[in-house]
Amino acid sequence: MTNKIDWSAYRAVLFDLDGVITPTAEVHMRAWEAMFNAFLAGWEGEGDTAPYTDRDYFDHVDGKPRYDGVRDFLAARGITLPEGTPEDATSEDTVCGLGNRKNDAFNEVLEKEGVTAYPGSVALLDHLAGTDLRLAVVSSSVNAPAVLEAAGLLDRFEVVVSGAVATELGLPGKPAPDTFLHAASVVGADAATSVVLEDAVSGVRAGAAGDFGAVVGVDRGVGAQVLVDAGATLVVDDLAELVPGTDTDTDTAEEAG
- 16, 178, 199, 219: the catalytic one is 16
Helix (H, G, I), strand (E, B) or coil at 241: helix
Dist. CA 143–CA 215, nearest whole Å:
24
Q: Say whether 18 is catalytic.
A: yes
DSSP per residue over 145-169, as a string? Answer: HHHHHHTT-GGG-SEEE-HHHHHHH
CA 76 – CA 110 distance, rounded (Å): 29
**DSSP 8-class letter at 22:** B
Helices (H) and strands (E) counted in the chain, each on its own, are 10, 7
Q: Smallest Cα–Cα separation from 255: which of 226, 230, 224, 223?
A: 224
**Catalytic-labelled residue, pool 6, 18, 72, 155:** 18
**Can you state the percent helix, strand and coil of the chain, rounding each to 5?**
45, 10, 40
Cα–Cα distance for residue pair 117/49, rounded to 1 Å: 35
Question: Are the beta carbons of 196 and 214 closer than 8 angstroms?
Answer: yes
Give the bridge partners for 159, in sequence order: 136
CB 183 within 8 A of CB 161: yes
Backbone angles phi and psi of 256, in degrees to 5 = -70, 140
Q: Which residues are catalytic, by number? A: 16, 18
